[in-house]
């Protein structure tokens, strides 16, 4: 079994320090010499660890002044009614989204099974990036049953809000039926969109949403930047 590189172990330890509030936004981190003494390594290893934190958007450096902790992770609650813009505004962040691509095509067998469709029926996939204060925090792919929701593809092409697009398609209310969460690492494409290094930690979620009649209206896959988001699982009343 391969061992975790020293620089990565140090980077992870500093991430944990920030997550636990030992270092808060705006705090100056210890000097390279102090960190080298703490972890028993040379300064080159410390620089490598710090570079990873800078690349992942957790730390900023100022020439001649040192390294400083950037903003705290965005608190993102996951419950039966997940509304991106409402959640981010409640956390004091400015939300925005960018639609990367929307495609409508025949559903594969696996896609059809997920959404209770027949293979070959039309499905619409929406690829997008979500931002908090102009920083990318999540990459997503959502699947919608075009046959069940005629015109949803065109609505999603002209509307960044999924809630508003579904409402215009006749879905007046929808809830999250299930959510699964696991850890993963960013591949090259995900790292590019999330402005991370390849191999950075991600939180991967899959979810199923149903309308007021219990029919499936959206299957979602989301990759959250692990160091920029704190997911809170909530049970809605």
Mean pLDDT value of segment 32-61 = 91
Residues 6+ apart with CB under 8 A from 152: 124, 144, 145, 146, 165, 166, 169
pLDDT value for 236 = 56
pLDDT value for 82 = 64
pLDDT value for 70 = 80
**Predicted TM-score (pTM) of this structure:** 0.73
Asked if residue 90 lies in contact with residue 79, where contact means CB atoms within 8 angstroms, the answer is no
Query: Which SS3 state, helix, strand or coil, does residue 92 take?
Result: coil
Model confidence band, residue 56 (pLDDT cutoffs 50, 70, 90):
confident
Q: Phi and psi dihedrals of 229, rounded to 5?
A: -135, 140
Query: Percent helix, strand, coil in the chain (nearest 5)?
Result: 30, 35, 35
Q: Minimum mean pLDDT among 50-59, 124-133, 161-170, 181-190: which range?
A: 50-59
Asked if residue 59 lies in contact with residue 30, where contact means CB atoms within 8 angstroms, the answer is no
Tell me the per-residue pLDDT of 90-148, one tens digit each, with 9 for 90 and over.
667 788 899 999 999 999 999 999 999 999 999 999 999 999 888 899 999 999 999 99
pLDDT value for 62 = 77
Work out the percent of the chain whose per-residue pLDDT is above 90. 58
Tell me the per-residue pLDDT of 180-213, one tens digit each, with 9 for 90 and over.
999 999 999 999 999 888 898 899 999 999 999 9
- For the chain, the average pLDDT equals 89
Task: Render the burial of 24-38: b for 16+ CB within 10 Å, e for the rest.
Answer: eeeeebbebeebbee
Mean pLDDT value of segment 12-40 = 89
């Amino acid at each position: 079994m391969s061992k975790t590189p020293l620089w990565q172990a140090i980077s992870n330890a500093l991430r944990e320090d920030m997550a636990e509030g030992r270092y808060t936004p705006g705090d100056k981190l210890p000097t390279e010499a102090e960190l080298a003494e703490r972890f028993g390594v040379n300064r080159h290893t410390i620089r490598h660890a710090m570079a990873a934190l800078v690349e992942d958007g957790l730390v900023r450096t100022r020439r001649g002044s040192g390294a400083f902790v950037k903003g705290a992770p965005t608190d993102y609650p996951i419950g039966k009614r997940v509304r991106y813009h409402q959640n981010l505004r409640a956390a004091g962040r400015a939300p925005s989204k960018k639609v990367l691509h929307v495609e409508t095509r025949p559903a594969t067998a696996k896609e059809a099974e997920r959404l209770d469709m027949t293979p070959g029926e039309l499905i619409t996939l929406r690829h997008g990036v979500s931002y908090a204060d102009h920083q990318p925090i999540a990459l997503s792919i959502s699947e919608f049953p075009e046959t069940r929701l005629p015109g949803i593809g065109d609505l999603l092409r002209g509307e960044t809000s999924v809630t508003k697009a579904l409402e215009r398609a006749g879905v007046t209310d929808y809830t999250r039926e299930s959510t699964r969460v696991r850890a993963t690492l960013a591949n090259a494409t995900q790292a590019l969109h999330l402005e991370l290094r390849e191999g950075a930690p991600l939180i991967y979620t899959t979810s199923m949403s149903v309308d007021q009649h219990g029919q499936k209206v959206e299957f979602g896959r989301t990759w959250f930047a692990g160091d920029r988001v704190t997911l809170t699982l909530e049970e809605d009343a």
